[in-house]
């Protein structure tokens, strides 16, 4: 097979305890999945059905990366999220079988150009400009599911320049990990390599040039990025 130019290298994420990497196929993100965040965004904190948006696979960013401050925004926001890495194909996956499809878990940051997202919402346009830009999906190393206990009650938090900005527990998810997988798999055939950013708790806010952002979930490898000019 000859291409007219070299295809991009497969985007991938580190896996703890091995040199082998997790090849990323798609990035799905859940909107408004913590009640207090739904409220702070002016939404409904009740169990409205989960909704999804996507980012390109090559938006993933390794921990330790210095990211050029994103273009075209005056209101870049951090959203710390638990990331579920899919390791087994499935469609119409029952809630009870959902975890069988999980390869592992990571901490991610759904970087958001909130000003562009807000304009899109107001005009009923797609969210891509606000959400799916270059390097918008920092993702820490994935821990295999077999090595992680009690993820559903783990603490999740984010600091900016070592100051606490977001703090919650995975137990606060409106739609659980299993439910998110079940609902998403009704509309898409999930495949190995898919990542699911499961939503962010309250406390989202602006980032500035020079900021050092660190996201954590108890038991997982933190994600750590800096913003530069």
Write out the residues near Mn ion by the rule CB under 5 A: 79, 110, 200
Least gap, CB of 109 to Mn ion (angstroms):
9
- Asked whether 70 and 111 are in contact (CB, 8 A), the reply is yes
Least gap, CB of 146 to Mn ion (angstroms):
27
Cβ-based nearer residue to Mn ion, 110 or 224: 110
Cβ-based nearer residue to Mn ion, 90 or 175: 175
Phi-psi region of 162 (alpha: psi -120 to 50; beta: other; left: phi over 0): left
Least gap, CB of 181 to Mn ion (angstroms):
17
According to DSSP, the β-strands at 195-197 and 27-31 are parallel
Residues 6+ apart with CB under 8 A from 184: 28, 50, 52, 190, 196
Cβ-based nearer residue to Mn ion, 29 or 102: 29
The Cα 156–Cα 148 span in angstroms is 14
Cβ-based nearer residue to Mn ion, 89 or 134: 134
Residues 6+ apart with CB under 8 A from 207: 76, 77, 78, 111, 160, 213, 227
Least gap, CB of 201 to Mn ion (angstroms):
10
Q: Which residue is nearest to Mn ion (CB)?
A: 110
């Amino acid at each position: 097979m000859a291409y007219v130019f070299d295809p991009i290298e497969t985007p991938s994420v580190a896996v703890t305890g091995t040199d082998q990497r997790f090849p990323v196929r798609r990035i799905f993100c859940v909107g408004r999945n913590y009640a207090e965040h739904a409220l702070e965004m002016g939404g409904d904190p009740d169990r409205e059905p989960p909704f999804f948006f996507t980012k390109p696979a090559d938006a993933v960013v390794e921990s330790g990366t210095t990211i050029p401050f994103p273009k075209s925004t005056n209101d870049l926001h951090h959203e710390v999220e638990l990331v579920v890495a899919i390791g087994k194909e499935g469609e119409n996956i029952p809630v009870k079988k959902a975890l069988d499809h999980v390869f592992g878990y990571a901490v991610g940051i759904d970087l958001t150009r909130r000003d562009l997202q807000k304009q899109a919402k107001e005009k009923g346009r797609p969210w891509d400009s606000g959400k799916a830009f270059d390097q918008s999906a920092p993702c820490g190393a994935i821990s295999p599911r077999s090595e992680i206990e009690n993820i559903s009650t783990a603490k999740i938090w984010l600091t900016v320049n070592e100051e606490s900005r977001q703090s919650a527990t995975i137990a606060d998810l409106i739609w659980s990990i299993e439910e998110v997988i079940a609902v998403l798999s009704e509309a898409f055939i999930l495949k190995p390599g898919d990542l699911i950013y499961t939503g962010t708790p309250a406390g989202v806010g602006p980032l500035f040039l020079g900021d050092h952002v660190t996201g954590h979930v108890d038991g997982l490898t933190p994600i750590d990025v800096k913003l530069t000019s």
